[in-house]
Structure 1
Amino acid sequence: MDFEIKNEQGFQYVEQGQGPVLLLLHGLFGALSNFEEVIDYFSDKYRVIIPLMPIYTKSKHGASVDGLSEFVHNFVTFKGLDDMIVLGNSLGGHTGLIYTLAHPQKVKLLVLTGSSGLYETGLGSGFPKRSSYEYIQERVGYTFYSQETATKELVDEVFDILNDNFKTLRILRIARSAQRHYMGSEIVNIEVPTLLIWGLNDNITPPRVAHEFAKLLPNSELHFIDKCGHAAMMEQPALFNEILAKFLDKHLQAVAQ
């Protein structure tokens, strides 16, 4: 699928479909392609929107998870969005948690997959071998259960990013910010229905992290997907979309009644 990237008021984003707003927040090395199957599946019934997060670029927002949440707030304000379904992967989930706590009236439903915020085997320690293609290939492969998901195109993209000094420094600052921002004592205050979709073979935010999220989030349900790593919507898109669709149908039908 080819995406039309809109560029308005300093924001770059993709918008497909009509209906309830499904706002997708990508992770640290995320890209629009990460959500290709989600867009394709849901855009016939939902207004799917993906802002490009200012992770690799200069921004008035700080290089931190709080800065990313502020960016999301400014984007939502610019678009005039309300009653959103917020879906975040990895760092995008962490950002979604902070945003939901700050603006609960804007979020109808929350979906987290491989979210940081409690624990992750992260990137804050640096990239001692970032000039080594084989090292980057190994680290990208670590994200997935199936090595076939770690395509050469994906490895090339990450390799290029990490060999740009400005992008690397900004990534490290954001990653360290995420590692410092433990949310265990905060997320107990999130009351919106929350869906947790987790890879059973996630090496970065392991299954025990998902169980901890389920214990702390008062209105949550947890689903594991076998043979799946840190990005379930990429590695097992059919199962991911099926679980998400059932959750959305259940809660949106309940609201309509």
Structure 2
Amino acid sequence: MAHRLKKEQQFSYIEVGEGTPIIILHGLMGGLSNFDAVTNFFSQKGYKVVIPELPIYSMPLLKTNVKNFANYLKDFVEFKGFESVILLGNSLGGHIGLYHTKMYPNKVKALVITGSSGLYESAMGGGYTKRSDYEVIKKKAQDVFYDPAVATKEIVDEVYETVNDRNKLIKTLAIAKSAIRHNMSKDLPNMLTPTCIIWGKNDSVTPPEVAIEFDQLLPDSELFWIDKCGHAAMMEHPEEFNKLLFTWLEKRQF
């Protein structure tokens, strides 16, 4: 199901359903459509699912960092008039959610992270020396998933276009450096927000030990594993992902 992108003021976003707001934060090269299954499921379960387009490639280079994306999210939450939200982030989106939660804990009732950066970022900005070689980029896109078939031609084409756009590549590298600078290991023990961690057991981008470390450092977290699953659990095993998250939200009465 294709969802219409709304454009209001400086914000572009998808909004589906009514109820408690779940704001979804996409990753560095993750399209909004990566969350179609999550959007369709939760918008029919009493939640308002909102996916803002993050200004990853449109912010000035000097402002292209995790902290400014977290502040952009704050502006978006205020623009929408939400009192308290559930944040769900994948990869870089998880890091932005974590940083936003650190800065504005009263605005976040629950946090959900999957394949999140914030502790381990070595794979984010590297490996683009052969970016003009389509097959190399295809392999890199496939490696994100346990099942390489999930990396459709559309996904590979989008990654290829991104890394071969000089402006986008420079910003990708800036974000990778920013992710390392904004390491969350010292912040996490002070973050009391209930956090659901859903992780692919076969994630090669942010390996399983990263999830274990998140779970150990966060005071109020639960960790759930999805087998035969890579870096984007909500795409590779959408039904299992939705079931785990819905059960956790119900148990915690969110």
TM-score strictly above 0.5: yes
SS in 2 for 1:115: coil
- Aligned equivalent of 1:241: 242
CA distance in 2 between counterparts of 1:114 and 1:16 reads: 24
Alpha-carbon displacement from aligned partner over 1:200-227 (angstroms, at most 9, x marks no partner): 0000110000000000000000000000
CA contact (8 A) 2:121 2:176 kept: no
Q: Percent same amino acid at aligned positions? A: 50
- Aligned equivalent of 1:62: 63
CA distance in 2 between counterparts of 1:170 and 1:126 reads: 15
- Aligned equivalent of 1:9: 9
Distance 1:43 1:31, change over 3 A: same
Q: CA deviation at 1:231?
A: 0.3
- Aligned equivalent of 2:196: 195
CA distance in 1 between counterparts of 2:35 and 2:24 reads: 8
CA distance in 2 between counterparts of 1:42 and 1:126 reads: 36
CA distance in 2 between counterparts of 1:86 and 1:138 reads: 31
- Aligned equivalent of 1:103: 104
- Aligned equivalent of 1:83: 84
Q: Unaligned 5+ residue runs, structure 1?
A: none
Q: CA deviation at 1:57?
A: 2.0
Query: Once structures 1 and 2 are overlaid, which stretch shifts more, 121-130 or 215-224?
Result: 121-130
Count of aligned residue pairs for this structure pair:
253
Q: CA deviation at 1:60?
A: 8.9
CA contact (8 A) 1:126 1:172 kept: no
CA distance in 2 between counterparts of 1:58 and 1:185 reads: 27
- Aligned equivalent of 1:43: 43
Q: Unaligned 5+ residue runs, structure 2?
A: none
Normalising by structure 2, report the TM-score.
0.96
CA distance in 2 between counterparts of 1:219 and 1:153 reads: 38
- Aligned equivalent of 1:127: 128
Distance 1:126 1:179, change over 3 A: farther
CA distance in 2 between counterparts of 1:12 and 1:157 reads: 19
CA contact (8 A) 1:65 1:177 kept: yes
SS in 1 for 2:63: coil
Distance 1:78 1:240, change over 3 A: same
CA contact (8 A) 2:22 2:86 kept: yes
